[in-house]
Amino acid sequence: MTTAPAAPAVLPDGTAGASPYQSYVYAYPHKTAYRELPDRPPLRELWAGESQHALSLYLHIPFCEVRCGFCNLFTRIGGPDGLTTAYLDALDRQAGAVRAALDEGAGFALAAFGGGTPTYLSAAELERLCDIAEHRMGADLRAIPLSVEASPATATADRLAVLAERGTTRLSLGVQSFIDAEARSAVRPQKRAEVEAALGRIRDAGFPVLNIDLIYGIDGQTEASWLRSLDAALAWRPEELYLYPLYVRPLTGLARRGEAESPAQWDTRRLALYRAGRDHLLALGYEQVSMRMFRRAAAPQAGVSEYACQTDGMVGLGCGARSYTSRLHYSFDYAVDATEVRRIIDDYVATPAFDHAVVGRAMTPPEARRRHLVQSLLQAEGLALADYRERFASTPAEDFPAEFAAFAARGWLTEDAHGAATGPADRADRLRLSPEGLAHSDAVGPMLFSPEVRALMAEYEAK
């Protein structure tokens, strides 16, 4: 689950505003900073000279059976007969064009199907989706980590059987809450009994890694109900859990319902719920990987995370997917409004050839430094200083003195990271956020945005 943030609030000193929930930053720069590419560069030119021996592959399915009140993903609810077939036809055409632009020896190290809801597709359509990844793109899905997103209503036995047989290593289920009243409050029409039945089918299918997504900050949610929901998830011994703070974004269902509490009260409640959930999981033997991600100790790792699939060398297929080379990030148009989403999907389906990049943003060396920090610092293990020096011939303290001074002043860095950020580099080998810094990851990330990206995000008109 991702959000499309508004441009982060910025104080006169250039740092982000006081709220710990500026925006969910899982990739940099955000898609709202992309613009139409006037030269529409050919894909073959974009990928020439890029490292291609261990690419990431992402296939985007922009369909869901319902739209949750908090959702601002690029997704369409249902569709006329034949649309999913036409979409897969277009995906197949795009895969052929992209594969032709890659080197003959290009290989894939991991793959993911996201959306929308990939399991909106029928079992036969999921077979075809896997065939596109394998036969068109050359990704051996049984030999590399494959992560797939699902919803309770679409996690049917026949669909799960296809995914298990084709090599899925990680199945991620969007639950959000096991409390029916909270699900209704988040405008997510589901019953706990349906969720439990879906989890039973998923465990029966035998996926090595089960991830469950939960949300905190829902209207009416208390610490007691939050922990009850968390314990209901833990009863299934998931290898991974993602704990997401609720965001209310423009053009979503919740945005039209108004606010039940002040922003400051909501921030305080979300932080308290985060800390309660974090401490509960740590006490039960889960390891914290990032602000959102927790992994059960000694559980197998699927190899696909929100950051692993956002690195350079990312090939995205589908009208909501992004691709990353070292020089350009590119995609198609983006929208949240249902009419606009339908238009973009219809345009994608009607596209005869996919030989050029349409929308994107060039990656300059300064932006590459910011991207590296976002991808590394927001992880619990932090940023390896030696890797940074090898890649950029500098240190984060040299490149971002104001940002790291602000982090240190707020107590968001560990003591060894503080020493590395402000003194000799040999005082620590990694830069790490403190527990409080991790809690404020959604403020740390936006503080690393460049002024240019902030301006582009502020100019973006939601549609």
The yes-or-no verdict on residue 425 having pLDDT over 70 is: no
Residue 69: which CATH number? 3.80.30.20
- Domain end position, chosen among 308, 324, 355: 308
d(CA 283, CA 271): 18
Is residue 226, in this structure, part of any structural domain at all? Answer: yes
The yes-or-no verdict on residue 53 having pLDDT over 80 is: yes
The yes-or-no verdict on residue 72 having pLDDT over 70 is: no
- Domain end position, chosen among 291, 308, 325: 308
Looking at the structure, tell me whether residues 65 and 169 fall in a common domain.
Answer: yes
Contact criterion met (CB below 8 Å) for 240 and 301: no
Looking at the structure, tell me whether residues 58 and 164 fall in a common domain.
Answer: yes
Is residue 348, in this structure, part of any structural domain at all? Answer: no
Mean pLDDT of 313-341: 90
Nearest to 52 by CA among 102, 99, 112, 111: 102
- Measured from the Cβ of residue 402, the count of other Cβ atoms closer than 10 Å reads 11
The yes-or-no verdict on residue 456 having pLDDT over 70 is: yes
Is residue 16, in this structure, part of any structural domain at all? Answer: no
The CA distances from residue 114 to 149, 222, 460, in Å, are 6, 31, 24
Nearest to 159 by CA among 190, 194, 117, 211: 117
> E strands, 289-425, where?
293-296, 314-317, 323-324, 328-331, 359-362, 383-384
The yes-or-no verdict on residue 66 having pLDDT over 50 is: yes
d(CA 113, CA 111): 7
Angle at CA of residue 49, ends 45 and 54, nearest 5° = 110
Helix 385-392 crosses helix 365-377 at what angle (to 10 degrees)? 170
Mean pLDDT of 171-189: 89
Looking at the structure, tell me whether residues 303 and 378 fall in a common domain.
Answer: no
Looking at the structure, tell me whether residues 394 and 284 fall in a common domain.
Answer: no
Looking at the structure, tell me whether residues 243 and 131 fall in a common domain.
Answer: yes
pLDDT at 422: 41
Looking at the structure, tell me whether residues 97 and 210 fall in a common domain.
Answer: yes
Locate 408 and state its tokens: 């240190």
**Residue 5: pLDDT band with limits 50, 70, 90:** very low
Is residue 442, in this structure, part of any structural domain at all? Answer: yes
Mean pLDDT of 312-327: 92
Domain count, the chain: 2
The yes-or-no verdict on residue 75 having pLDDT over 80 is: no
Looking at the structure, tell me whether residues 90 and 234 fall in a common domain.
Answer: yes
- Measured from the Cβ of residue 258, the count of other Cβ atoms closer than 10 Å reads 7
Cis bond before residue 29 (omega within 30° of 0)? yes
- Measured from the Cβ of residue 259, the count of other Cβ atoms closer than 10 Å reads 12
Which ranges of 291-364 does DSSP label H, i.e. alpha helix? 338-350
Give the H or E element holding residue 454: helix 451-459
First to last CA, the chain: 19
Mean pLDDT of the chain: 87
Question: What percentage of residues in the chain have a pLDDT greater than 70?
Answer: 86
**Residue 170: pLDDT band with limits 50, 70, 90:** very high
Looking at the structure, tell me whether residues 281 and 373 fall in a common domain.
Answer: no
Contact criterion met (CB below 8 Å) for 344 and 51: no
Q: Which residue has the tokens 């399915």?
A: 61
Mean pLDDT of 248-269: 67
Q: Which domain holds residue 441?
A: 365-456
pLDDT at 188: 76
- Domain end position, chosen among 308, 325, 346: 308
By the 10 Å C-beta count (0-12 exposed, 13-18 middle, 19+ buried), 381 is classed as exposed
Is residue 313, in this structure, part of any structural domain at all? Answer: no
Residue 445: which CATH number? 1.10.10
Mean pLDDT of 100-109: 95
Is residue 398, in this structure, part of any structural domain at all? Answer: yes
Looking at the structure, tell me whether residues 285 and 424 fall in a common domain.
Answer: no
Looking at the structure, tell me whether residues 166 and 266 fall in a common domain.
Answer: yes
Helix 415-422 crosses helix 401-409 at what angle (to 10 degrees)? 150
- Measured from the Cβ of residue 115, the count of other Cβ atoms closer than 10 Å reads 25
Backbone torsions φ then ψ of 2, nearest 5 degrees: -130, 165
Which ranges of 192-288 does DSSP label H, i.e. alpha helix? 192-205, 223-234, 263-283
Give the H or E element holding residue 214: strand 209-216
Is residue 175, in this structure, part of any structural domain at all? Answer: yes
pLDDT at 148: 97
Please tell me which residue, 96 or 3, carries the higher pLDDT value.
96
User: Which DSSP state fits 390?
Assistant: H
